[in-house]
Homo-oligomer: A and B are copies of this chain.
Amino acid sequence: MIVARTITDLKEHLYALSEGGRRSIGFVPTMGYLHEGHASLMREAKAKNVIAVLSVFVNPTQFGPNEDLDRYPRDEERDLKLADECGIDVVFLPTVQQMYPKPSKTSIIVSGLTDRLCGASRPRHFDGVGLIVGKLFHLIKPDRVYFGMKDAQQVAVIQQMVDDLNFDTVIVPCPTVREPDGLALSSRNVYLSAEHRAQAVILSQSLEQARGWIQEETMTAGSLLSRVKERIGSAPDAVIDYVELLRYPSLEPLDEQELTHKLESPALLAMAVKFGTTRLIDNSLYHPSGGV
* Chain A residues in the interface with B (C-beta under 8 A): 7, 20-22, 104-113, 130-131, 134-135, 138-139, 141, 160-161, 164-168
B residues in contact with A166, CB < 8 Å: 7, 135, 138-139
> In the assembly, what is the distance between CA of A20 and CA of B108, in Å?
28
Question: A96: shortest Cβ distance to chain B, in Å?
Answer: 14
Cα-based distance from A107 to B139 in the complex (angstroms) = 20
Within the complex, the shortest CB–CB distance from A60 to chain B, in Å, comes to 15
CA distance A116 to B45 in the complex (A): 45
Contact (A108, B110) CB under 8 Å given A21-B21, A141-B168: no
Q: Cα distance A17–B112 when bound, in Å?
A: 39
Q: In the complex, which residues of chain B have a beta carbon less than 8 angstroms from the beta carbon of A7?
A: 166
Question: Which residue of chain B lies nearest to A19 when distances are taken between CB atoms in the complex?
Answer: B22
User: A107 vs B106: C-alpha distance in the bound complex, in angstroms?
Assistant: 10
Tell me the minimal C-beta distance from A278 to chain B in angstroms.
31
**Closest B-chain residue to A114, C-beta based?**
B105
Task: Identify A106's interface contact among B21, B106, B141, B164, CB under 8 A.
Answer: B164
Contacts A/B (CB < 8 Å), 12 sampled: A21-B21, A105-B111, A105-B112, A105-B113, A105-B164, A106-B110, A106-B111, A107-B108, A108-B165, A134-B165, A138-B165, A138-B166
A255 to chain B: closest CB distance in Å? 21
Contact check: which of B20, B111, B167 meets A138 at CB < 8 Å? B167
- The CA-CA distance from A22 to B168 in the complex, in Å, is 17
A282 smallest CB distance to B (angstroms): 25
Cα A27 to Cα B104 in complex, Å, equals: 25
Q: How far is the CB of A229 from chain B (nearest CB, A)?
A: 29
Name the 3 nearest CB pairs between A and B, nearest first: A106-B164, A104-B164, A138-B166
Residues of B within 8 A of A112 (CB): 105
Cα–Cα distance between A22 and B18 once the two chains are bound (Å): 12
Cβ–Cβ contact A160 & B110, under 8 A:
no
A138: chain B residues at CB < 8 Å are 165-168
A67 to B165, CA, bound (A): 24
Task: For A164, give the chain B residue with the smallest CB separation.
Answer: B106
Given contacts A135-B165, A138-B167, A141-B168, contact A108 B108 (CB under 8 A): yes
Interface centre among A110, A141, A164, by most chain B C-beta atoms within 10 angstroms, is A164
Please, which residues of chain B bring their CB within 8 A of the CB of A141?
Answer: 168
